[in-house]
């Protein structure tokens, strides 16, 4: 049996970067299509002073629209793993 691992979702559609008026990065989502109509969300971040402004929600909403367009059937969420790692470092003495 021959299984194709060619991504069906374009990289540019699922990896988004938001910049401020000075072209500084202020929010980003990193994902990849890793086979069988499944997306892996590896990272989502918003610069601290822009949190609670809706940028993270916008990135996730845009990703959801792309997922529907390509009939993605499942998501693998690496965000929780990232948060656990970040929290363990910030709480270290």
Q: What is the pLDDT of residues 32-72, one digit of tens each?
A: 776 667 788 888 889 999 999 999 999 988 988 888 888 88
Expressed in percent and rounded to 5, the helix, strand and coil fractions of the chain are 35, 30, 35
pLDDT in tens, 51-60: 999 999 999 8
What are 85's two structure tokens? Answer: 């790692």
Task: Please give the Cα distance from 13 to 31 (Å, whole number).
Answer: 9
Domain ranges of the chain: 12-90
Average pLDDT, the chain: 77
Q: Which CATH class is domain 12-90?
A: alpha beta
Radius of gyration of the chain, Cα coordinates, nearest whole angstrom: 15
Model pLDDT, residue 73: 81
Confidence of residue 28 (pLDDT cuts 50, 70, 90): very high
Q: How many CB atoms lie within 10 A of CB 61?
A: 10
Model pLDDT, residue 63: 87
């Amino acid at each position: 049996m021959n299984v194709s691992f060619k991504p069906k979702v374009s990289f540019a559609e699922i990896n988004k970067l938001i910049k401020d008026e000075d072209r500084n990065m202020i929010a980003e989502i990193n994902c990849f299509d890793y086979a069988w109509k499944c997306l892996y969300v590896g990272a989502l971040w918003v610069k601290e002073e822009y949190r609670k402004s809706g940028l993270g929600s916008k990135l996730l909403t845009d990703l959801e629209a792309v997922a529907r367009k390509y009939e993605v059937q499942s998501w693998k969420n690496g965000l929780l793993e990232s948060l656990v790692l970040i929290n363990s470092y910030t709480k270290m003495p």
